[in-house]
Amino acid sequence: MAGGEVKQSTIARPIEWDGLGLHSGIPVRVEMSPSAANSGIVFVRAGEVAGADVEIPALHGSLYSGSRATTLAANAGGAREARIATVEHLLATLYSLEIDNLRVRVDGPELPAMDGSARPLVDRVNAAGREHLPADRGAVTIFESVEIQESGCWIRAEPADRLQLTYSIDFDHPMIGCQTLALRDFDRACFARELASARTFGFLHEWEALRSAGLARGGSLENTVVLDDEGVLNEDGLRFPDEFVRHKVVDLIGDLALLGAPLRAHVSVEGGGHALHHRLVRAIAELATPAHSG
Catalytic residue numbers, as ranges: 274
- In DSSP notation, 216-229 reads STT--TTTSEEE-S
**Across the chain, which distance is largest between two alpha carbons, in Å?**
57
- Phi, psi (5° rounding) for residue 278? -65, -35
Residue in 23, 39, 72 with CA at minimum distance from that of residue 202? 23
- CA 212 from centroid of its chain's CA atoms: 25
Q: What is the C-alpha separation between 163 and 294, in angstroms, rounded?
A: 16
Quick one: 37 exposed, middle or buried, by C-beta within 10 A (0-12, 13-18, 19+)? Answer: middle
CA nearest neighbour of 160 among 182, 189, 135: 182
What CA–CA distance (Å, rounded) separates 4 from 137? 12
